[in-house]
Amino acid sequence: MAKQSSQIMDIESIKALLPHRYPFLYIDRVTELIPAERIVAVKNVSADEPFFQGHFPGYAVMPGVLIVEAMAQAGAIMMLSAMEDPGSKIPFFAGMDRVRFRKQVVPGDRLILEVDVTRARRATCKLRGQAVVDGQIAAEAEIMAVLADRV
């Protein structure tokens, strides 16, 4: 059984691992991390998010694809944190399966992203993720990811 890391990551530690930047960085904090096994991360959904300008005016709802993107970014942090030289790799989506949206995510919500590895082989991995708001599942998905060499 793997030992759980006590590491908690703030935004600067996250930016040191992920290539994403505003307005496309959807992870604010990591509260639990077992490299290459499990991560729990947080996205604080602000009314100032740029996507709310068009999705939807007068009825702000976080787009489901961005919730899945947040899960994928959490998974990328988990996988990159297990590497000796994470700066040599860049994470890419390879696919999504069994995606379900169960609850709307709105400004003021705290999105808790729970992602576990279900299979890992060399540079590819399959992840199972859930996005939770106030104890209720807002979205869930199986995500395929690839860690490619940076050019």
Residues catalogued as catalytic? 55
Q: Let me know how long the chain is.
A: 151
What is the spatial distance between Cα 41 and Cα 22, in angstroms, rounded to a whole number? 17
Distance CA 71, CA 97 (A): 13
Closest by CA position to 145, among listed 122, 127, 118: 127
